[in-house]
Amino acid sequence: MTKCGFVAILGAPNAGKSTLVNQLVGQKVSIVSPKVQTTRSRIMGIALKDNVQIILLDTPGIFEAKKRLDKAMVQEAYDASSETDANVLVIDVTWPNLNLAQQLCEKHSKGIIVALNKIDLIAKDQLLKIATSINSFANVTKIFMISALHADGVDDLANHLCSIMPKGPWLFPEDQITNIPVRSWAAEVTREQVFLQLHQELPYNIFVESESWEEFDNGSVKISQAIVVAKDNHKGIVLGKRGQTLKKIGQAARVELEEQLEQRVHLKLFVKLEEDWQERSWALRAFGIGV
Ligand SMILES: Nc1nc2c(ncn2[C@@H]2O[C@H](COP(=O)(O)OP(=O)(O)OP(=O)(O)O)[C@@H](O)[C@H]2O)c(=O)[nH]1
Ligand SMILES: [Mg+2]
């Protein structure tokens, strides 16, 4: 007898949602960074545990959005949780946004599971205080205390999810771990490196696109990607002094691509200016956001 179901992972930006999804899947399917708004569209991670397939929807962080792209991202997160079998709200205990948490719990009248995350960073008594507050919110069915980064408590959460998934056939082959096409995934790998290599000066509104993908007989692949920036001065930030920053981004992305694709990769990166790309619907579609 097999079981299979959908679970949305929700929460504020930077709460650790993607880290949790990767941990539940057992492999990295969604990019992670210390910056907010790393995840921009719904990404599916497929976890398999004994006879249960859990289709996890990693979502963009929920916050008070004003810009069109931001609003579309937040809407993605809300939409993801409307027809799932369970929803998990991830809360960063080092910086809990209890107002947002309460609102989200109230919205989920069919019940919501709360995962208090980053417990490796705070004291027990502080954690218990947060748990007590959350416990008083409407619709909370269970509270787990976890460290997604260190895989602490994640098994208990996974076992609980398995226990509540509905009976049914698996919807994906057992070796499939995500639904994103390889070209989009490769663009995400580079975007992660942009987030990791740029610091305070990070232009959040960058966007990476795989423009060409050429496989060679010797088993190697040549990937050309554009890093699209919205302002002229962002070009220089991404390039760095004498192109050093772009070079570092490219080297780190290539290492990860080679590791995951198990083939030699020639990665060609260039920076392209597209003013106000975020306001255009083609860009949002290219992002995977349905507007
Ligand atoms: N110490 C600690 N850090 C964590 C834990 N979980 C996640 N992090 C870190 O928190 C940061 C954000 O993690 P992400 O998984 O990208 O968070 P997210 O909720 O997906 O963020 P957005 O996609 O931007 O909404 C990263 O630097 C992670 O390494 C944890 O349990 N402990
Ligand atoms: Mg994320």
Architecture of domain 3-164: 3-Layer(aba) Sandwich (3.40)
173-200 CB burial, b ≥16 within 10 A, e <16: eeeebbebeeebbbbbbbbbbbbbbbee
Cα 242 to ligand 2 centroid, rounded to whole Å:
31
Q: Which residue has the least CA distance to atom 9 on ligand 1? A: 16
Give the closest residue to 24 by CA, choosing from 242, 194, 139, 177: 177
DSSP 248: H
User: Could you read off the pLDDT of 44-54 as tens digits, one per residue?
Assistant: 999 999 999 99
Contact yes or no for 57/44 (Cβ under 8 A): yes
DSSP 30: S
Contact yes or no for 3/162 (Cβ under 8 A): yes
Distance CA 112, CA 108 (A): 6
Band the pLDDT of 283: cuts 50, 70, 90.
low
Q: Which residues contact residue 176 at a Cβ distance below 8 angstroms, ignoring those fewer than 6 apart?
A: 46
pLDDT over 90 at 71, yes or no: no
Q: Look up residue 39 and give its two tokens.
A: 């995840």
Q: Look up residue 153 and give its two tokens.
A: 């408590």
- DSSP secondary structure string for all residues of 215-240: E-TTS-EEEEEEEEESSHHHHHHHH-
Cα 151 to ligand 1 centroid, rounded to whole Å:
12
User: Could you read off the pLDDT of 88-119 as tens digits, one per residue?
Assistant: 999 999 999 999 999 999 999 999 999 999 99
Cα 146 to ligand 1 centroid, rounded to whole Å:
12
CA dihedral 236, 237, 238, 244 (to 10 degrees): 80
Rounded to the nearest 10 degrees, what angle do helices 182-197 and 244-261 cross at? 140
Helices (H), 38-97: 68-80
Q: Which residue has the least CA distance to atom 7 on ligand 1? A: 16
Most confident of 70-79, 161-170, 279-288: 161-170
Spell out the CATH class of 182-286.
alpha beta
User: Could you read off the pLDDT of 213-271 as tens digits, one per residue?
Assistant: 999 999 999 999 999 998 888 999 999 999 999 999 999 999 999 999 999 999 999 99
User: Could you read off the pLDDT of 201-220 as tens digits, one per residue?
Assistant: 776 678 898 999 999 999 99
pLDDT over 50 at 290, yes or no: no
List, chain by chain if needed, residues with CB within 6 Å of any ligand 1 atom. Answer: 11, 13-19, 32-34, 36-39, 60-61, 117-118, 120-121, 147-149
Name the phi and psi angles at 173, rounded to 5.
-60, 150
Q: Which residue has the least CA distance to atom 26 on ligand 1? A: 34
Domains of the chain, residue spans: 3-164, 182-286
Cα 60 to ligand 1 centroid, rounded to whole Å:
12
3-state SS, one letter per residue, for 100-154:
HHHHHHHHCCCCEEEEEECHHHCCHHHHHHHHHHHHCCCCEEEEEECECCCCECH
Nearest atom of ligand 1 to the alpha carbon of 58: 20
